[in-house]
């Protein structure tokens, strides 16, 4: 079950206050084996989100280079 934006904000505030850190996906206590997650399942959920494009690192588009389109002359 994913956390709401309010729950994420509360978790970040708690972490900043020095309280026990929680899983980045579900909010349960972290397991050192899967840090920053609590289980392999949450780690896999995070990986899936990266692979399907839910998480995106902003950047500028690469300029098109002549010949990139595969035009063989």
Reported as a single tens digit per residue, the pLDDT across 7-27 is 566 656 655 655 679 999 999
| Number of other CB atoms surrounding residue 66 within 10 Å | 6
d(CA 39, CA 55) in angstroms, rounded, equals 20
Which 3 state secondary structure label does DSSP give 29?
strand
**63 has pLDDT over 90:** no
């Amino acid at each position: 079950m994913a956390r709401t934006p309010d729950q994420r904000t509360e978790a970040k505030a708690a972490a900043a206050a020095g309280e026990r850190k929680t899983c980045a996906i579900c909010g349960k206590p972290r397991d050192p084996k899967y840090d920053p997650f609590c289980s392999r399942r949450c780690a896999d959920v995070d990986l899936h989100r990266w692979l399907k494009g839910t998480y995106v690192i902003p950047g500028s588009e690469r300029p098109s280079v002549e010949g990139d389109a595969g035009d063989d002359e």
